[in-house]
């Protein structure tokens, strides 16, 4: 195996690995099959961007890093509304209240900084995702650029520098062609040649955005896949032209997949109608509500007065509904939740002190959408029916792209060994010869073949409700394979 002096990480938000084909993404496909492709890599639960980004940064599940949802109720920070981790203002509020410890684990960026190493990030996602990949960017003396502007990063000088060099930030169109091109220029023309950091990371907000609003297999979405694929080739060409190209490792990843939505369920309205006054998290107000509910295709249900009898009643009501896929409650048991029929939040390593009393997932399966892609499920709203969604435990939401290339590749191999986004931080640190903090649960992918593998399937049931979850582990680290309702 070669020495690694530098690492380039490329993240495609929401990219499903089954769409990395010779026709749709020829450059990325050619690169993936020529390097070490972890074809069964997995996201975490909830399979949402801010949760997954935190898992990439910390090498750990939500039980360790504490970002338990894209939005979650956190009364220590705000009693009046559900915290939205995408918003810079909510992150600032949480940081101020928690003495900066919003993410409760060490990140690979923190370890790099402690050893005098540099991390430069080019981001095109929300302020929350931009923050979570290196929450200490400013105090770590690192550099995080956001294509969305100064208010979207903790190091706004990076945006000012790039505007001075490359001109005004691009317009926000859908698909986000202009943002992809601007971000790629910042990486290839500034970060790699001029900052020349130990670790460079670029985060493309596509194809996630187009999956959500333009549908997974549509003409426009296929065009944006081709566009990010061409951008990826420009990054490869830039690296290949360097004199130290042989010593550069690449990690190519996505944070989660997506499935298509087949219908809509207004769970907040239905809960209210069932005698449990519920407020949508997005309403930013909880007046008169007994429950605070987040949505998408899964969410948390907070019982605002802490009445566990109400929680139990809501759980039983959910399991009696045809639209419900899976239900989780906290429990001391590693498998079964405290309400019969539910799974324990421990089973998915979501049992952080911040975690809710109840987590639901709407029903999904692996049947095919209008474009022939497997994975269909219900949503609460927020995108048009037919649009893509993620957050749940369907294999096509959980399965991520994960490729180890350049100096880190172990020959050409496609492997189905359990792996996932929690291995990215440990791999970065291992490649640079830096120590792995004890809070990281993943392991370096360089020795993945040497780790012990286990596979288990679990079920929980009550009455006619039966849910199942398949889990794999490698070296003791947990990877969530697929969950769905059976009956």
Cα separation, 34 vs 37, in Å, equals: 8
Least Å distance, CB 203 to Zn ion, is 9
Least Å distance, CB 14 to Zn ion, is 5
Per-residue contact flags (x/-) with Zn ion for residues 295 to 324, judged by CB under 5 A: ------------------------------
Given the complex with Zn ion, which of 130 and 140 has the nearer CB atom? 130
CB contact at 8 A, 132 and 173: no
**CA end-to-end distance (rounded Å), the chain:** 49
Residue count (the chain): 487
| DSSP secondary structure code for residue 194 in this structure | I
Cα separation, 451 vs 8, in Å, equals: 25
Ranges of H-type helices in 341-484: 395-398, 424-431
Q: Should residue 255 be labelled a site residue for Zn ion when binding is judged by CB under 5 A? A: yes
DSSP element (H, E) containing 48: none
Candidate segments 14-22, 38-46, 71-79, 282-290, binder of Zn ion by CB under 5 A: 14-22
Cα separation, 327 vs 460, in Å, equals: 10
Least Å distance, CB 342 to Zn ion, is 27
CB contact at 8 A, 421 and 43: yes
Tokens (6 digits) for 20: 């990395």
Candidate segments 88-96, 178-186, 222-230, 248-256, binder of Zn ion by CB under 5 A: 248-256
Least Å distance, CB 422 to Zn ion, is 15
CB contact at 8 A, 3 and 247: yes
Query: Which position has the token pair 């939205």?
Result: 84
Q: Should residue 397 be labelled a site residue for Zn ion when binding is judged by CB under 5 A? A: no
Candidate segments 39-47, 200-208, 265-273, 321-329, binder of Zn ion by CB under 5 A: 200-208
Given the complex with Zn ion, which of 118 and 126 has the nearer CB atom? 126
Tokens (6 digits) for 236: 């490869």
Cα separation, 69 vs 345, in Å, equals: 13
Least Å distance, CB 50 to Zn ion, is 8
Candidate segments 203-211, 230-238, 283-291, 444-452, binder of Zn ion by CB under 5 A: 203-211
Cα separation, 459 vs 471, in Å, equals: 11
Angstrom distances, CA of residue 9 to CA of 86, 103, 126, 277, 425 = 22, 21, 18, 45, 11
228 three-class SS? helix
DSSP element (H, E) containing 33: helix 26-34
Least Å distance, CB 105 to Zn ion, is 20
Please give the size of the binding site for Zn ion, defined by CB under 5 A. Answer: 5
User: Which residues in 47-61 are b (16+ Cβ under 10 Å) and which e?
Assistant: bbbbbbbbbbbbbbb
Least Å distance, CB 109 to Zn ion, is 19
Least Å distance, CB 255 to Zn ion, is 4
Given the complex with Zn ion, which of 84 and 208 has the nearer CB atom? 208
List residues bridging with 459 in a β-sheet: 468
Q: Should residue 423 be labelled a site residue for Zn ion when binding is judged by CB under 5 A? A: no
Given the complex with Zn ion, which of 15 and 339 has the nearer CB atom? 15
Given the complex with Zn ion, which of 14 and 337 has the nearer CB atom? 14
Q: Should residue 49 be labelled a site residue for Zn ion when binding is judged by CB under 5 A? A: yes
Candidate segments 6-14, 72-80, 94-102, 282-290, binder of Zn ion by CB under 5 A: 6-14
Candidate segments 160-168, 255-263, 307-315, 339-347, binder of Zn ion by CB under 5 A: 255-263
Least Å distance, CB 179 to Zn ion, is 15
Given the complex with Zn ion, which of 56 and 448 has the nearer CB atom? 56
Among 7, 13, 301, 424, binds Zn ion (CB under 5 A): 13
CB contact at 8 A, 415 and 35: no
Given the complex with Zn ion, which of 271 and 401 has the nearer CB atom? 401
What residue number has its CB nearest to Zn ion? 49
Residues forming the site for Zn ion (CB under 5 A): 13-14, 49, 208, 255
């Amino acid at each position: 195996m070669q020495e690694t002096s530098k690492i380039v990480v490329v993240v495609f938000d929401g990219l499903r690995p089954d769409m990395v084909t010779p026709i749709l993404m020829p450059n990325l496909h050619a690169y993936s099959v020529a390097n070490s492709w972890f074809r069964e890599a997995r996201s975490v639960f909830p399979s949402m961007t801010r949760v997954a980004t935190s898992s990439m940064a910390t090498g750990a599940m939500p039980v360790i890093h504490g970002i338990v949802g894209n939005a979650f109720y956190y009364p220590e920070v705000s009693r009046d509304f559900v915290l939205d981790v995408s918003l810079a203002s909510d992150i600032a509020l949480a940081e101020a209240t928690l003495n900066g410890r919003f993410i409760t684990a060490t990140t690979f960026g923190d370890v790099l900084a402690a050893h005098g190493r540099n991390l430069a990030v080019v981001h095109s996602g929300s302020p929350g995702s931009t923050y979570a990949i290196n929450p200490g960017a400013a105090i770590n003396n690192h550099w995080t650029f956001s294509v969305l502007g100064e208010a979207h990063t903790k190091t706004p000088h990076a945006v000012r520098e790039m505007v001075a060099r490359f001109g005004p930030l691009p317009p926000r169109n859908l698909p986000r062609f202009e943002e992809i091109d601007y971000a790629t220029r910042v990486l290839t023309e500034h970060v790699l040649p001029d900052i020349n950091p130990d670790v460079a990371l670029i985060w493309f907000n596509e194809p996630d955005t187009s999956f959500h609003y333009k549908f997974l297999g549509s003409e426009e979405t296929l065009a944006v896949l081709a566009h990010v694929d061409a951008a990826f080739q420009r990054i490869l060409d830039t690296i290949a032209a360097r004199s130290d190209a042989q010593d550069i490792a690449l990690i190519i990843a996505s944070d989660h997949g997506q499935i298509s939505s087949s219908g809509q369920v207004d769970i907040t309205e239905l809960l209210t109608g069932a005698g449990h006054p519920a407020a949508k998290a997005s309403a930013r107000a909880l007046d008169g509500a007994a429950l605070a509910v987040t949505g998408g295709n899964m969410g948390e249900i907070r019982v605002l007065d802490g009445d566990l009898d109400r929680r139990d009643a809501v759980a039983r009501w959910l399991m009696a509904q045809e639209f419900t896929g899976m239900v989780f409650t906290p429990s001391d048991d590693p498998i079964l939740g405290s309400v019969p029929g539910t799974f324990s939040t421990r089973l998915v390593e979501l049992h952080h002190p911040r975690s809710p009393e109840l987590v639901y997932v709407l029903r999904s399966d692996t049947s095919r959408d209008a474009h022939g892609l497997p994975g269909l499920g219900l949503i609460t709203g927020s995108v048009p029916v037919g649009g893509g969604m993620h957050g749940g435990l369907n294999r096509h939401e959980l399965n991520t792209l994960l490729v180890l290339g350049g100096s880190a590749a172990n020959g050409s191999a496609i492997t189905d060994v359990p792996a996932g986004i929690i291995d990215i931080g440990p791999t970065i640190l291992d490649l640079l010869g830096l120590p792995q903090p004890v809070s990281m649960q993943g392991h370096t992918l360089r020795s993945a073949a040497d780790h012990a593998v286990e596979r288990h399937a679990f079920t929980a049931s009550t009455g006619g409700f039966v849910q199942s979850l398949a889990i794999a582990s490698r070296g003791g680290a947990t990877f969530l394979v697929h969950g769905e309702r059976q009956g």
